[in-house]
Amino acid sequence: MNFEEYAAKKEVLMPAGVPIPRGRLCKTAPEAAHAFDEIGPCVIKAQVPTGKRGKAGGIKSADRAKDAEARAAEILGMSIDGHVVETVLVEERAEIAREFYAAVLHDVASRKPLVLFSAEGGMDIEEVTATRPAALRRLAVELTQGLEPQAVRLLLRGLDLDGAEEKIAEILQALYRAAVTYDAELLEINPLALLRDGRIVALDCKLTLDDAAAFRLGDLPLLAAREKQTELEQLGSANGLKFIQLDGNVGVLANGAGLTMTTMDVISHFGGRPANFLEIGGEAYTKAEPALKLVLSNPGVRSLVVNFCGAFARTDVMADGVVKAWQSLNPTIPVFFSIHGTGEEEAVNLVRDRLGIEPYALMEDAVKAAVEAAR
Amino acid sequence: MIIYRKTHRVLVQGITGKQGTFWSEKMMACGTRIVAGVNPKRAGQTHIGVPVFASAQQAMEREPFDIAVMFIPPAMAKDAARDAIEAGARMIVILTEHIPAFDVMAIHEAANEHGARIVGPNTAGLVTPGEGFVGIMPGHNTNIFQPGDVGVISRSGSLGTLVCLNLTRAGIGQSAFLGIGGDPMIGTTTRDALEALDRDPRTRAIVMVGEIGGSMEEQAAAYAATMQRPVVAFIAGRSSPPGKKMGHAGAIVTGNAGSYASKRAALEAAGVTVVDTPSEIPTVLRRRMAAEVAAAE
């Protein structure tokens, strides 16, 4: 789950002891004017979970209350990378002397948390990595040991940090602790700014928390940014199904993530376009009926592939669900089955006897037929 | 050690639960030597003919085991894995999906310290046709698995099953099926699995079933370049839109990293034949194996 800038700063950085600028979250332009009266010269920032805010015109500066109101009015309601701006952060304008970069993320290769620091901040970290790889310092941390002060000193050694070494070391340790405490997949401060008055503050923060850890994060997940989802995708989530709507016309109902992706790939291979991703493996294997409803509700769908390969999931249980759902929904589009694995014989008989449809012996043949039918 | 052998003694953590019971019975019927189970509340009892202990530690004292397989919910997985690792298990097969990543990192640290191998999380398990299986694969189904000399590596259980089924139908048996799991952070990587099969005297050729996301296939490609045995690969997710999680947490493309194109290019440069659809695998595999024999003569 992703968080907007202000939620990340206020709920995670601040409690961890990382300084943030004064700011107020506003839902209307007049609120922004009031916030200006409190804060003074400020920056008004669209609160959306994407990194493309600046370029899209979602970040603007104001020197007077009237400007703050006008800029907020411009930004509110904007659409940035598909997200509609519903709130803006009115934040004190920092007098920046220098910008750094700091982050903690999961390192898949070493299977450890990785602390990143660069004496150059403000731009895409991919750019820093590409143009000046030596500028980016990295440290994989042993969870059982934690981030030790000596390790931080070593990480920062040889960098000219304008006397801010101590403060930065403290911030890196606070950042690491916060990442572990809140199960962050990514906790990034960019830029971490050294101000003219010598303070160091987190000017922007990107936070992604581990969905799998939601059970131990208290109320924090409630503050996560809403995912961009279509109505059908929301309906899928509400039913506990992972449904992704695509712009094709061949519906997909399969079990297991790998097999579902492959079904989509084979549809494309034969010149068709998949209409959705929908996984009904694992514990969801009894949910064939709501799953089928979801696939058929997608207005683009003109044919359907049902591809089951049962390992853990039983194909007879899934097929029974599909057959019942098919009979009750009575759709007009053609359906093509490929059924293999656990419970195969019963499942094939079920489809043959109750729907009068002969499942294909090869998945590719079922897909080919469905692609033809959708033309 | 990653290939399951019938001489391996297996501990089932969470044996008394619904899934633990169901799959333990299937494993035993298939020949797997399950020597003990764990459930702290039912220690001292016998369940489906297997003695139940309060912990892996206690089980190890009475019924020594090599492999621990976990039917444990995500929130308890870290403690269960540590118990098995500290008890001295040589391999822990973690079927559980949705374990918090920091818990997975903690499990890896413990495993490194004790020299234990982790398979998974989010794996469907390991099958050695004719010997047995560990996990939630239809290892008992002879329509799907037949003994032979082709090793299969897969991040996905359902797709791995389909591939083995296609091989069996084509008359090609398997030396081992190694399910490694669909999570981004897993203990045994594609490269590790490839190396294990490369060293296995019973394996003549390898099928590698990969996915978009991460860089495991690229790392495996670097190893494949050093191999004599033929490798045929299929990479799932070619048509998946970038930025979306396609069910498996690992299957997500961000920018150019983890893309289908980069994986395919790396594998082909290493001499691996990459096929477009799973049904091409048996034909291509047979051709590569025949070429290998011809070259040897």
Q: Is A257 an interface residue toward B (CB < 8 Å)?
A: yes
pLDDT > 70 fraction of chain A, expressed in percent and rounded: 98
Mutation to test the A interface, candidates B76, B152, B162, B167, most A Cβ within 10 Å: B162
- Contact criterion met (CB below 8 Å) for B180 and B155: yes
Our CA-based measurement puts residue B62 at a distance from the nearest CA of chain A, in whole angstroms, of 30
pLDDT band at A282 (very low <50, low <70, confident <90, very high): low
Higher-scoring residue by pLDDT: A215, A328? A215
E-strand stretches of A157-262 = 184-195, 200-202, 205-209, 242-245, 250-254
**What are the pLDDT digits (tens) for A190-247?**
999 999 999 999 999 999 999 999 999 999 999 999 888 899 999 998 888 889 999 9
Q: Give the lowest-confidence range in A167-171, A234-238, A250-254, B11-15.
A: A234-238
Residues B247, A259: C-beta atoms closer than 8 Å: no
pLDDT band at B65 (very low <50, low <70, confident <90, very high): very high
Q: In chain A, whose CA is at the least distance from the CA of B19?
A: A312
Strand order in the sheet with A88-92: A23-26, A88-92, A42-46, A59-62
pLDDT score of A80:
93
pLDDT score of B68:
98
Q: In chain B, whose CA is at the least distance from the CA of A217?
A: B100
CATH for A231-374 is 3.40.50.261
Q: Name chain B contacts of A115, Cβ cutoff 8 Å.
A: none
pLDDT score of A128:
72
Q: Name chain B contacts of A264, Cβ cutoff 8 Å.
A: 239-240
pLDDT band at A284 (very low <50, low <70, confident <90, very high): low
Q: Give the lowest-confidence range in A224-228, A247-251, B24-28.
A: A224-228
- What's the pTM value of the predicted model, to 2 decimals? 0.94
Our CA-based measurement puts residue B102 at a distance from the nearest CA of chain A, in whole angstroms, of 7
Q: Name chain B contacts of A344, Cβ cutoff 8 Å.
A: 143
Q: Name chain A contacts of B255, Cβ cutoff 8 Å.
A: 126
Arithmetic mean of pLDDT, B52-58: 98
Decide if pLDDT at A141 tops 90: yes
Residues B277, A364: C-beta atoms closer than 8 Å: yes
Q: Across the interface, which of A126, A213, A256 has its CB nearest the CB of B157?
A: A256
Q: Is A140 an interface residue toward B (CB < 8 Å)?
A: no
Mutation to test the A interface, candidates B23, B161, B238, most A Cβ within 10 Å: B161
- Contact criterion met (CB below 8 Å) for B233 and B273: yes
The overall average pLDDT reported for chain B is 94
- Kindly provide the b/e burial profile for residues B121-151, where b requires at least 16 CB atoms within 10 angstroms of the residue's own CB: bbbbbbbbbbbbbbbbbbbbbeebbbebebb
Arithmetic mean of pLDDT, A110-120: 94
Arithmetic mean of pLDDT, A145-158: 95
Backbone region of residue B31 per phi and psi (left: phi > 0; alpha: psi in -120 to 50; beta: other values): left
Q: Which CATH class is domain A96-223?
A: alpha beta
Decide if pLDDT at A281 tops 90: no
Q: Of the listed B98, B108, B114, B248, which one is catalytic? A: B248
Q: Name chain B contacts of A313, Cβ cutoff 8 Å.
A: 158
Total beta-carbon pairs less than 8 A apart between chain A and chain B:
169
Residues A108, B214: C-beta atoms closer than 8 Å: yes
pLDDT score of A328:
87
Give the amino acid at B275: V
Q: Is A252 an interface residue toward B (CB < 8 Å)?
A: no
Looking at CATH, the fold of the domain delimited by A23-92 is given as: Dna Ligase; domain 1 (3.30.1490)
Q: In chain A, whose CA is at the least distance from the CA of B97?
A: A212
Q: Name chain A contacts of B182, Cβ cutoff 8 Å.
A: 257-258
Q: Peptide bond before B64: cis, by omega within 30 degrees of 0?
A: no
Q: Peptide bond before B129: cis, by omega within 30 degrees of 0?
A: no
**What are the pLDDT digits (tens) for B104-123?**
999 999 999 999 999 999 99
**How many other C-beta atoms are found inside a 10 Å radius of the C-beta of residue B254?**
10
Q: In chain B, whose CA is at the least distance from the CA of A363?
A: B279
Residues B158, A106: C-beta atoms closer than 8 Å: no
**What are the pLDDT digits (tens) for A37-80?**
999 999 999 999 988 898 899 999 999 999 999 999 999 999 99
Q: Greatest CA span in chain B, whole angstroms?
A: 61
Q: Name chain B contacts of A258, Cβ cutoff 8 Å.
A: 154-160, 182, 209, 211, 236, 247-248
Q: Name chain B contacts of A213, Cβ cutoff 8 Å.
A: 100-102
Domain boundaries, chain A: 23-92, 96-223, 231-374
Q: What whole-number distance in Å separates Cα of residue A321 and Cα of residue A285?
A: 9
Q: Name chain B contacts of A362, Cβ cutoff 8 Å.
A: 279
pLDDT band at B140 (very low <50, low <70, confident <90, very high): confident
Q: Across the interface, which of B106, B159, B165 has its CB nearest the CB of A258?
A: B159
Residues B236, A258: C-beta atoms closer than 8 Å: yes
Q: What whole-number distance in Å separates Cα of residue B110 and Cα of residue B97?
A: 19
Q: What whole-number distance in Å separates Cα of residue A233 and Cα of residue B256?
A: 26
- Three-state secondary structure call for residue B113: helix
The overall average pLDDT reported for chain A is 93
Q: Greatest CA span in chain A, whole angstroms?
A: 80
Decide if pLDDT at A374 tops 70: yes
Instruction: Answer yes or no: B47 catalytic.
Output: no
**How many other C-beta atoms are found inside a 10 Å radius of the C-beta of residue B74?**
16
Our CA-based measurement puts residue B201 at a distance from the nearest CA of chain A, in whole angstroms, of 28
Residues A265, B277: C-beta atoms closer than 8 Å: yes
Which stretch of DSSP H or E encloses residue B150? strand B147-154
**What are the pLDDT digits (tens) for B237-289?**
999 888 777 777 777 666 667 899 999 999 999 999 999 999 999 999 999 99
Q: In chain B, whose CA is at the least distance from the CA of A365?
A: B279
**What are the pLDDT digits (tens) for B175-223?**
999 999 999 999 999 999 999 999 999 999 999 999 999 899 999 999 9
Q: In chain A, whose CA is at the least distance from the CA of B144?
A: A341
Taking only residues 11 to 50 of chain A, the set having a beta carbon closer than 8 angstroms to any beta carbon of chain B reads none
Residues A106, B138: C-beta atoms closer than 8 Å: no
Residues A261, B165: C-beta atoms closer than 8 Å: no
Q: Across the interface, which of B106, B144, B239 has its CB nearest the CB of A143?
A: B106
Tokens representing A163 are 């006397």
Taking only residues 306 to 325 of chain A, the set having a beta carbon closer than 8 angstroms to any beta carbon of chain B reads 309-313
Q: What whole-number distance in Å separates Cα of residue B159 and Cα of residue B165?
A: 10
